[in-house]
Each structure stands twice: as C-alpha cells, then as structure tokens.
Amino acid sequence: MNDFHIGWYMHPLVHRDYPPVMRKNVGSRLPSFTAEELKRVRGSFDFVGFNHYGAAYVKADLSKLDQKLRDYMGDAAVKYDTVLFGLKMGFMSSTAWSMRKMLEHLQVKYKNPVVMIHENGAASIADPSGGNAPDDEFRSQYLQDYIEATLQSSRNGSNVQGYFVWSFLDVFEYLFGYRMGYGLYSVDFSSKERTRYQKHSAKWFAGFLHGGELRPVALPGKAYSQ
C-alpha cells in the first residue's frame, strides 16, 4: 500500500519511474516519462511534507483488478479493514507508530529525504456551549506520543527536520465544520467576541517548548491506548 500512496509521488522523484506494482496494476493507463522529463523530475524537490493523523489497515482485494473501470483504490487492489484516528471517544487511539514506519519507509526506500510533518493533531467534539472544552489532556498525550515518535525516528537516522501541530486555534474544519476542533486554543463561536480559551494541551505544549519534560507525570484515572 505504501508503494501506491507514497510511491505515486516519491518513486518518480527518486527512482525516475513509478513503482513496479503500479506499472503492473495500472498498465497502459499510467503515463510514461520522456527522457527529458525523467531528467527534470529526478531530485526536483527540496523536502517532503506530510499531514499525519492516523492509520488505516488494508487487505488485499485482487478482484478489483478484474473491474474494467477502476479508480485509484481499485488499482491499488485493496480494501479498508480498520481505520484508526485521533479522536476523543472516551479513550485515545494513538497511531504514532505508523508515522515511525512511514519515516522508516522513506529512509530505506527513498534515500532519506528531508521531511516536514506539516500537520499532526487530535480532534475533539465541540461542547454544546460552542467551541471545544479546555479539558483536553488526551490531546497533550497524543502530541507527546507523536513528538516522541518524531524524536525516535530522528535518532534512528531519519532526516525529519520539522514538526507542526494542527492547529493553534479551533477553526472551521473542511470536513466537520465547527463540530470538531483540533486547536490548542478553544474558540467560543457562540460569543460575539469569539472568546478564546487556553486548553490543557496549549499549556503543556508551551511548557515543553520552553524546556519542559516530554513525559510529565501521568494524570490519575486517565487511560490511553496505543
């Protein structure tokens, strides 16, 4: 699956062609590069940027290759099995391990490019009063997991050079509107002043950036799964 999602972009940039599995499954529908295009494409990037929030388990579904009309997922010949996402639902499902695997994949297969994690964060469901409650210890835990995974990958040789939290404020989310928030600060959208509230995650993150510990003492009664 990585050779479809990541390989679609990275393989031509590094290896001058699409991955063999794409050539095999897509066939003549996959464009070919001219010699001049290959020369221009290879290495034509400064860094690779990723948004990372969760992980998806997939199963092979080779029957999709028998379909005459296929989309991207049909060509990949897989079907989704389980999707894990950073959402508060009584517990926190952290998938920082999947980001480590992605960074390792880039390191081993694509000559260890410079990587920036452009977006990473956890969603919370808006409370009835508008905005998202400031009691979001789960988000602090989630960010700790991912920052730790980024640090471990760097120490293992990955060329990851940047990490950005999504987002500073709860904003209008393009899939969920105002029903979910990712911000370190909550915004009361029912207030004319759009009052902002500092969440637990904002306090933790600010402390961490000012030299605080990555793993403070765990909060009692809080359970998180990884």
- Catalytic residue from among 119, 137, 148, 173: 119
Q: What is the DSSP letter of 218?
A: P
Give the dihedral of Cα atoms 163, 169, 173, 179; nearest 10 deg.
130
Pairing of the two strands 115-119 and 160-163: parallel
Q: How far apart are CA 156 and CA 146, in angstroms?
A: 15
Annotated active-site residue 148? The verdict is no
Provide the residue type at 56 as one letter: A
Q: What angle do CA 45, 49, 50 make, to 5 degrees?
A: 145
| Percent of the chain that is helix, strand, coil (3-state, to 5) | 35, 20, 45
Which tokens is 48 given? 């690779």
3-class SS of residue 114: coil
Q: How far apart are CA 78 and CA 61, in angstroms?
A: 5
Strands (DSSP E) found in the chain? 48-51, 54-60, 78-85, 115-119, 124-125, 160-163, 180-181, 185-187, 196-198
Residue numbers annotated as active site: 119
